[in-house]
Structure 1
Amino acid sequence: MQERSKKILQAIIEQHLLSAEPVGSKTLLVSYDLGVSPATIRNEMAKLEDSGYLMQPHTSSGRIPTDLGYRFFVNDLVDFQNAKQQSHALISKIQNDFKTHKLKKEIQNAVTMLSNYTNNITFATLPDSATFYLGISKMLKKPEFMNDPLTACQVIEVFEKNNQFLKYLQNSEVPEGQIQISIGHENLLEEIKSCSIIVTRYRSNNFIGYIGILGPTRMNYAVNSIVLEEVTNQLNQEI
């Protein structure tokens, strides 16, 4: 992809993350210094749509990212290292919260903290083959789910059918010590193909469990990954 196309795609996704609305060329001209004409922006947006990175909702002249667009964004445009360097205050707060609450073996408290910092559904698998999760009410307040109750119900049902989600995680083959991001249709469960999942593994004595975040594809992948990584690091130290 050419640099100009990358800049425009990044601007559209960053604006959509903030607004949850389709992004038009006028918004890009006002909010971003792209150094190109309105006609050029419109042409590039059309090319990005033809290539599958953007789509145009029927009710708007603006564009929103597709799963492919988000995947390119995560793989090629998000600077995770820079985001981590810019998140010292957030990381310090997480570390302080662990010291204050003395979490130790209480994985449930870690999931609560994760939910509070990310405003998404957060979950962890437990040694008794159960999945502990929080944040359903936060998910329901997201525009994507407020405007589509059926999709919201499908996501909730996945967690209510505990074994289904547990098996999904167990089959995901996440390497220990790494964070895996699955975007939209990359998820194997049909009911959560409208969502993204950021997941890693934690260790408790002889048990290795999964801990992660589930939310709409319109999420802050960099910050959520940083929060999950730090919570998991602290949890592994405490347990």
Structure 2
Amino acid sequence: MNERKIRILEAIIQDYIQTGFPVGSRTLSRKYDLGVSSATIRNEMSDLEELGLITQPHTSAGRIPSDKGYRLYVDNLMDRPEIEPDLEAIITKVLQDKITTVDTLLEETARLISMMTNYTTIASATIVEVVSIKHLQLVPVDSKSVACVIVTNTNNVKHHIVNTHLEIDFGVCNLLTESLNDCLVGATASTVKQANLQHLQIPQHFLDDLLYAIEDTLKEEDAKHIYTRGKANILDFEEFKDGDKARDLLELLEEKPYLKKLLSPTPGASINITIGEENALEPMKQCSLITTTYQLGNYTLGTIGIIGPKRMNYGEVVSLLEHISCHITNMLSDD
């Protein structure tokens, strides 16, 4: 692709990021010093469309970038502006003034980035171990319910009240406890329902409720240390004025197990950018996700991610994420 096409594509993407409106040849000729006529720009835009780098939305005369166009832009054309000194001072003050624990750090980081970008921000801490069952105990609460007490491999203790649908006493609870520990110690949220428990002499609905309670507890533990801020910010963008699209995305942002998977570090990548159709789930296909990690030595302590429309300001977001990631890494190293 020749230099002129690259300059025109870059101008289209920059203009669409700034305005949110499809870009025509007259706009490009008037606003950008491309050194060619509107007719030549139209011809080049036709070529860019054939290459799959721009597309025509509905009946608009203008063009917008395709996912392929955005990918070419972020991989080859994107500028990363320096963080302005006054912005850097705000970052330093907010994080250093309020940080007492890693959880506080994550919460403040998510809030700060969301405020600065007007996008949705997620911050997570890496969980060293997948949460599993270390021990569980059934304790009668009354004649037809038990407390299922679960101790995890991370030494957290949780309990759920489960309806037994039959009368149960300490003796039966102790026998069930022994059998459940034999089958379930080491099980995780993704494997607990795979255990073979059909030999237990209890009603199926009691067993189903019990396994659901255990699975729910393990999922809660897995989802700890994930903080989301600015979820409603996504509604400010034209792309999400469609109520169904907005609802689907907001519901997805409530699913912490999915967010945990979304923020899984990419080996060898300091910044990872996922654009539109590159996202696996349908509600994210109108979005871009930019993530980075923060470190202690060679160990990844956690991930920070920003979700916004595909026309987000990639360069500014990447610069901000890199700066904050470096700042957090330095803070943790100093400690």
Name the TM-score, length of structure 1 as normaliser.
0.89
For residue 203 of structure 1, report the CA deviation from its aligned partner: 4.1
> Is the contact between residue 293 and residue 300 of structure 2 (CA under 8 Å) also seen in structure 1?
no
After superposition, the CA RMSD in angstroms is: 2.2
Q: Which sections of structure 1, spanning at least 5 residues, go unmatched?
A: none
Identify the residue that residue 187 of structure 1 maps to in structure 2.
279
The alpha-carbon deviation at position 60 of structure 1 amounts to 0.7
Q: Does 1:155 align with 2:152?
A: no
Residue 118 of structure 1 and its aligned partner are, at CA, apart by 1.2
Letter in 2 for 1:183: I
Query: Equivalent residue for 1:122?
Result: 121
Deviations along 1:181-203, one digit per CA (max 9) or x if unpaired, are: 11111122232111111101224
Question: CA contact under 8 A between 1:115 and 1:134: conserved in structure 2?
Answer: yes
Q: Is the 8 A contact 1:121 1:136 kept in 2?
A: yes
Amino acid of the residue matched to residue 68 of structure 2? L
Partners of 1:175 and 1:118 in 2: how far apart? 26
Take 2:31 and 2:287, find their aligned partners in 1: how far apart are those partners? Answer: 27
Q: 1:64 matched to which residue of 2?
A: 64
1:92 deviation in Å?
A: 4.0
Residue 293 of structure 2 corresponds to 201
Distance 1:168 1:110, change over 3 A: closer
Is 1:90 matched with 2:87?
yes
Q: Is the 8 A contact 2:231 2:253 kept in 1?
A: no
2:233 is aligned to: 138
Offset of residue 164 of structure 1: 2.0
CA distance in structure 1 between the partners assigned to 2:96 and 2:262 by the alignment: 33
Cα contact 1:198–1:225 (8 A) shared by 2:
yes
**Deviation at residue 211 of structure 1 after TM alignment:** 1.2
Aligned to 1:237: 330
Match of 2:74 in 1: 74
In 1, the alpha carbon distance for the partners of 2:28 and 2:115 equals 31
Task: Please list the CA deviations of residues 155-185 of structure 1 after superposition, one character each: whole Å capped at 9, or x if unmatched.
Answer: 1122222212322333xx4136711111111
Q: Distance in 2 between matches of 1:24 and 1:233?
A: 40
User: What is aligned with 2:142?
Assistant: none
Q: CA deviation at 1:207?
A: 7.0
> Does the aligned pair in 2 maintain the 1:49–1:55 contact within 8 Å?
yes
Please report how far the alpha carbon of residue 139 of structure 1 lies from its aligned counterpart in structure 2 after TM superposition: 1.0
Shift of 1:16: 0.5
- Tell me if structure 2 keeps the 8 A contact 1:202–1:209: yes
Q: Distance in 1 between matches of 2:66 and 2:275?
A: 10
CA separation in 2, counterparts of 1:113 and 1:204?
A: 21
Instruction: Please give the alpha-carbon distance, in whole angstroms, between the structure 2 residues aligned to 1:207 and 1:41.
Output: 46
Measured after TM superposition, the shift of residue 76 of structure 1 is 1.2
Residue of structure 1 aligned with 2:309, choices 202, 208, 216: 216
- For 1:170-181, what aligned pairs fall within 5 Å after superposition? 170=264, 173-175=265-267, 178-181=270-273
Aligned positions, number: 233
Name stretches of at least 5 consecutive residues in structure 2 with no aligned partner.
128-220
Q: Give me the TM-score of the superposition, normalised by structure 2.
A: 0.65
Q: Deviation of residue 210 (structure 1)?
A: 1.7
* Counterpart-to-counterpart distance in 1, 2:308 and 2:16: 15
Check if 1:168 corresponds to 2:262: yes
Given that residues 70 and 183 in structure 1 are in contact (C-alpha distance below 8 angstroms), is that contact kept between their aligned partners in structure 2?
yes
Give distance in 2, aligned partners of 1:176 and 1:209: 14
The answer as to whether partners of 2:239 and 2:286 remain within 8 angstroms in 1 is no
Q: Map residues 26-65 of structure 1 onto 2, 5 A cutoff.
A: 26-65=26-65
- Aligned equivalents of 2:69 and 2:100: distance in 1? 38
Q: Secondary structure at the match of 2:253?
A: helix
CA distance in 1, matches of 2:84, 2:64: 27
SS of alignment partner, residue 160 of structure 1: coil
